[in-house]
Amino acid sequence: MQFDEREADQTTREPGNEHSDECRCTSAGGGQRGKGPFGFAHSLNLGYGNLGSSVMRVTVVVPTYNENDNIEVFCREVRAAVPAASILVVDDGSPDGTADTVDRLGAELGSITVLRRDKKLGLGSAYRAGLRAAIDSGAEICVQMDADLSHDAALLPALIANVELGADLAIGSRYVPGGRTVDWPPGRRRLSRWGNRYAAGVLGLAVNDATAGYRAYDSSALVRMDFETVRAEGYGFQVEMTYRLVRIGGKIVEFPITFRDRVEGSSKMSGGIVREASVLVARLWLSDFKGRRKRRREGR
């Protein structure tokens, strides 16, 4: 659903305009776009410090592998943006000492913990373990972020506020008006854009950025969608999580962000991850033919 704070029925700009000053929000569980019962937006010139209160318990879950060059800056930026939030780092045996740095920061700043794993087991596995630990510790909102500083922590209060106001999932989206990517080579940009269009078109998702890694979930929605049975490991994990939430009628809001390529460390993207995501979408398509047709009729 599209909503402008000044006039509810005002026509929004076309989604292809990546430099618009307002976001487009979509409801995956509430009927056709622009007609469903749910959706809201924040103008980009709002003071983010007034959003994302500490009323609900928030845990930021961060998978890491060799992120020692970035993790201290990341943790300090998150703490500055949302002082009441806990940070849970899921480290897959990083040989560069990432986990030790997190332990030091936890002793200094408090409410920063590390879940140490012996070896690299994949993004999906790390998120499943981290989300379970966060929920077991009482988190009512679980945030997913990358540790490589690609996601602007200053937008966390606004992202969290969308869940506080009723969304089951708030996505920091590159592909709604106001969202964009910078510092990416053209090939990577095309792969991401068309990968999202492929997933949305094949699975009937009214979501522009299903592969986004910057997102906040209502913990009760994670339990309802049985997130621990999601099997994808690479970036397909985000697609399958989005798909699961749509299937249970969850409410999804997309919020515009600027995504920046990492400065330190190396990208985890590989050809195998791309192939896994492509096969995953085809498998989900085959397993849910009737459900997909129904969602398309309802605009979700």
Give the start-to-end residue ranges of the domains of the chain: 48-298
Q: Is 204 left (phi over 0), alpha (psi -120 to 50) or beta?
A: left
pLDDT of residue 202: 76
State residue 41's pLDDT score.
38
Q: What is the pLDDT of residue 20?
A: 37
Say what the pLDDT of residue 281 is: 62
Q: How far is CA 195 from CA 2, 198, 231, 241, 255, in A?
A: 24, 5, 19, 16, 19
Q: Residue for token digits 């009723």?
A: 166
Which has more pLDDT, 45 or 146?
A: 146
Range 165-168 contact pairs with CB under 8 angstroms and sequence separation of 24 or more:
165/40, 166/38, 166/251, 167/38, 167/218, 167/251, 167/252, 167/253, 168/29, 168/217, 168/218, 168/221, 168/245, 168/250, 168/251, 168/252
Report the pLDDT value the prediction gives residue 199, as an integer from 0 to 100.
73
Is residue 125 over pLDDT 60?
yes
pLDDT (0 to 100) of residue 282: 59
**Class of domain 48-298 as given by CATH:** alpha beta
Question: Which pair of tokens denotes residue 170?
Answer: 């708030």
Nearest to 115 by CA among 104, 105, 103: 103
Q: Does 292 have pLDDT greater than 60?
A: no
Whether 239 and 281 have beta carbons less than 8 Å apart is answered as yes
Per-residue pLDDT tens over the stretch 152-179: 999 999 999 999 999 999 999 999 999 8
pLDDT at 73: 97
Q: What is the pLDDT of residues 9-35, one digit of tens each?
A: 323 333 333 333 333 444 444 333 333
Q: pLDDT tens digits for 183-232?
A: 777 766 776 767 777 777 778 788 999 989 999 999 999 999 999 999 88
Q: 276 near 232, Cβ under 8 Å? A: yes
| CA triple 53-54-58, angle to 5 deg | 110
What pLDDT, on a 0 to 100 scale, did the predictor assign at position 83?
Answer: 96
Tell me the per-residue pLDDT of 226-265, one tens digit each, with 9 for 90 and over. Answer: 999 998 887 789 999 998 999 899 999 998 999 987 565 5
What 3-state class would DSSP assign to 216? strand
- Confirm if 244 and 284 have CB atoms less than 8 A apart: no
pTM of the model: 0.74
Mean pLDDT of the chain: 78
User: Which residue type sits at 17?
Assistant: N
Phi and psi for 174 in degrees, rounded to 5? Answer: -85, -15
